[in-house]
Amino acid sequence: MNVTLAVKQYVSKMIETSGSGMKVLLMDRETTSVVSVVYSQSEILQKEVYLFERIECKLYISVFVLQENVELLVQELRKPKYSVYFIFFSNVISKSEIKALAEADEQEVVAEVQEFYGDFIAVNPHLFSLNLVGVSRNRVWEPAMLQRCTQGLTAVLLSLKKCPMIRYQLSSDLSKRLAESVKQIITKEYELFDFRKTEVPPLLLILDRSDDAITPLLNQMVRRMVQNPRVSELDAVRLVMLYALRYERHTNSILPVLKEALERRGTSEELRQLVSRVVEFGGKRVRGSDLITATDAVAITKQFFKGLKGVENVYTQHQPLLQDTLDQLIKGRLKDAQFPYLGPSSLRDRPQDVIVFLIGGATYEEALSVYNLNRNCPGVRIVLGGSHVHNTKSFLEEVKSATGQSSDRSTAAAVVTVTGADEPPRANQDADAHIPFEVFNL
């Protein structure tokens, strides 16, 4: 399974369908992103596409915006600039919308209207993104985002020619809702999903980012510290977030003291509040798995605080929860009680083709885990996707939205590095018996 190749083949077929000669590619903003990731401008030029124009519209995320796209095409066809139009939609289009285009084509300039299922961004062969931040509010789907994720996921399945069995994370209502929504589309458009049967059916596994809030927080933290031992404002907050996730219910927690230290440092109130919001997003109350053992977070932070010795171990000792989940899946040990099937059927054999989707976004570290599993498990092909591919800043925007605070990307982008030198804290050696940190200056 290769999502990059799937999208690239669609684009090639689109261009080849129009025949030889000079061509103009007219795209909306979302489609422009999809095409630019898989094709360079020089490659497109070699296929005789010499002009690119933009249909100015909002992000294609719902039926309303799709109708807006259709309206823009209707306006174009009423006063056509070009002699022939080949129209390709990146997902399923309704009969009523086709009718609207036909009625506008009074000069009969439309040669073809087709559906090519490339409604997602193929980041690399085994990773795709829908480029969405803030898919839920207070642990409930934003309706437009649910529809957009459904569209994106069904486009991936159609492009890979897979009609999968579906498993979802039981502890997440978001996962169940998306699983049911995708299943409805598969049932409704059963003719589109009538692919050649395989001995082992493909599997779609839908997970929730809130089950592992650690991985997006660890991303690039140590590397930045190695390059500049002075702790930035965001890195200080991230360390307190890791502490809060590990010791949210510990009777001897010094979290209030650490928050006060952030305040003395001059950390903005918005960033300090995010410490509690991260726990609300991914704490024990919402997690369906045992994300943090008694030593995981301690090992990461202790080694970090020891003068940055053994930095390579800090990277290698953390494994995303996704890696363990997929390992259990491949071995046939993933519990149905935690990850049930949608419907009465279940896989009896080892899965071969697996599409994983993370509501709330995936990370590049998780993509690396998938890449390694694909290399080390012959016969198993895994593709990872998410509503977004996060760094820490975009993940914190996701947290703000999911916990009920309006998302503002500019706030995260405005975080600056504080240049005051701070002495690294010391770690308590008896981590199992006590809180692993002494009070320290952030």
60-70 pLDDT, tens digit per residue, is 222 333 566 78
Cross-strand partners of 353: 381
State pLDDT tens for residues 270-294.
Answer: 999 999 999 999 888 777 666 665 4
**196 has a pLDDT exceeding 70:** yes
Nearest C-alpha neighbor of 152 from the set 33, 35, 57, 61: 61
Supply the DSSP symbol for 320: -
Domain range 122-211+321-394, CATH architecture: 3-Layer(aba) Sandwich (3.40)
The model's pLDDT over 137-149, given as tens digits with 9 standing for 90+, comes to 988 999 999 999 9
The residue-averaged pLDDT of 104-130 equals: 88
Distance CA 246, CA 319 (A): 16
What 3-state DSSP class applies to 120? coil
Measured at the CA of 235, the angle between CA 231 and CA 239, to 5 degrees, comes to 110
Instruction: Dump the DSSP string for 396-442.
Output: HHHHHHHTTPPP-HHHHHT--------PPPPBPS-TTTS-SB-----
Query: Domain residues of the chain, as ranges?
Result: 3-118, 122-211+321-394, 214-312+408-413
Q: How many CB atoms lie within 10 A of CB 269?
A: 9
CA distance 113 to 321: 43
Architecture per CATH, 3-118: 3-Layer(aba) Sandwich (3.40)
**Band of residue 224 on the pLDDT scale cut at 50, 70, 90:** low
Dmax over CA atoms of the chain, in Å, equals 80
At residue 433, the pLDDT reads 34
Bigger pLDDT: 289 vs 9: 9
- Residue 314's alpha-carbon distances to 308, 429, 432, in angstroms, are 9, 17, 19
Q: Please write the tens of the pLDDT for every residue from 376-385.
A: 999 999 999 9
* 184 close to 336: Cβ distance less than 8 angstroms: no
Give residue 40's pLDDT: 81
Q: Quick one: tokens of 203? A: 């599997």
pTM: 0.81
Task: Give me the mean pLDDT over the 96-118 stretch.
Answer: 86
Torsions phi, psi for 166 (to 5 deg): -120, 130
When pLDDT is cut at 50, 70 and 90, the band that residue 55 belongs to is low
Following DSSP, what letter does each residue of 309-360 receive, concatenated?
TTHHHHHHH---HHHHHHHHHHTT---TTTS-BSSS----S---EEEEEEET
CATH topology agreement for domains 3-118 and 122-211+321-394: yes
Q: Is the pLDDT of residue 105 over 80?
A: yes
